[in-house]
Structure 1
């Protein structure tokens, strides 16, 4: 299968991306439990739309670590972490994908303690390929629906209402 290279970006992209979706959820589990689910050996294993999530670099993981995941059984992504604050926050950019959909794509995960567990903020930031810019602006709905399913799976997994 062919791989398409995506453009790199700095952390400011998570605030300035043409398409940015951020979801915050309060989870009734410890921040450590959330972090383990996000950064452990089987990241996001509870998300039905994701599969084969695995690190391709040896532990310990941090900035520069790499990972692969499959979304909706047809889009394979290679990721590289560009921020890693152990137990609290990490961000990655996608370096390669098997479909030429994105010019740039990344995700940011932040976990903070709350009196009743943890607050998890999951941010998706992307810029479509130039040929898809106008359709993406008009039809962002499929991607948003997929993201909302990931959020619902996360809430269900951690026992949030």
Structure 2
């Protein structure tokens, strides 16, 4: 599989990226359970078909500098992620260091979980993307499709925790 290197990001990228997709869902599970799922060996792959496989490359305990590889359905896109923010039990953010597709200049995700009542969690997820200049124009009409595709993962999480009750 080809490997294309991406540029680094910092937390400001979540407000300055050309394409920012934000999702907010309430999960029928306490924050500890959601966090345990996010940091499990299976992680997002357990939630539904959007993520095919997650492979943690760093030993536990995870934190800033930890990395993993993620294969997205249908197994065509593979990314290597490195975590640059880690607030145990509450929040993490990572940047994609390299990907199997050539179109991305910078890509990052931010996951925030907060309690909202008895046994429920507010899940907030931000995806920030900057395509390479050659892909910027074609990316514009594809952005709504990508936003919906990423939104499927948040909905997968909502259904996953609803089934766990």
1:20-76 CA-partner distances (Å, limit 9, x unpaired): 011011112100011111112211121312112010111110000000001121000
Match of 1:124 in 2: 127
Match of 1:75 in 2: 77
Match of 1:17 in 2: 17
2:93·2:111 contact (CA, 8 Å) conserved in 1? yes
Distance 1:109 1:51 in 2: 19
Spell out the pairing of 1:47-126 with structure 2 (5 A cutoff): 47-72=48-73, 73-116=75-118, 117-126=120-129
In the TM superposition, residue 139 of structure 1 has moved relative to its aligned partner by 2.2
Match of 1:142 in 2: 145
Distance 2:28 2:148 in 1: 24
Distance 1:58 1:105 in 2: 24
Superposed CA RMSD in Å reads: 1.2
Distance 2:121 2:56 in 1: 24
The gaps in structure 1 that reach 5 residues or longer are none
Distance 1:139 1:24 in 2: 22
- In the superposition, the TM-score normalised over structure 2's length comes to 0.93
- In the superposition, the TM-score normalised over structure 1's length comes to 0.95
Match of 2:43 in 1: 43
Runs of at least 4 residues of structure 1 off by over 4 A? none
- Give the secondary structure class of the aligned counterpart of 1:57: coil
In the TM superposition, residue 129 of structure 1 has moved relative to its aligned partner by 1.3
Structure in which a larger fraction of residues adopt helix:
2
Distance 2:43 2:145 in 1: 23
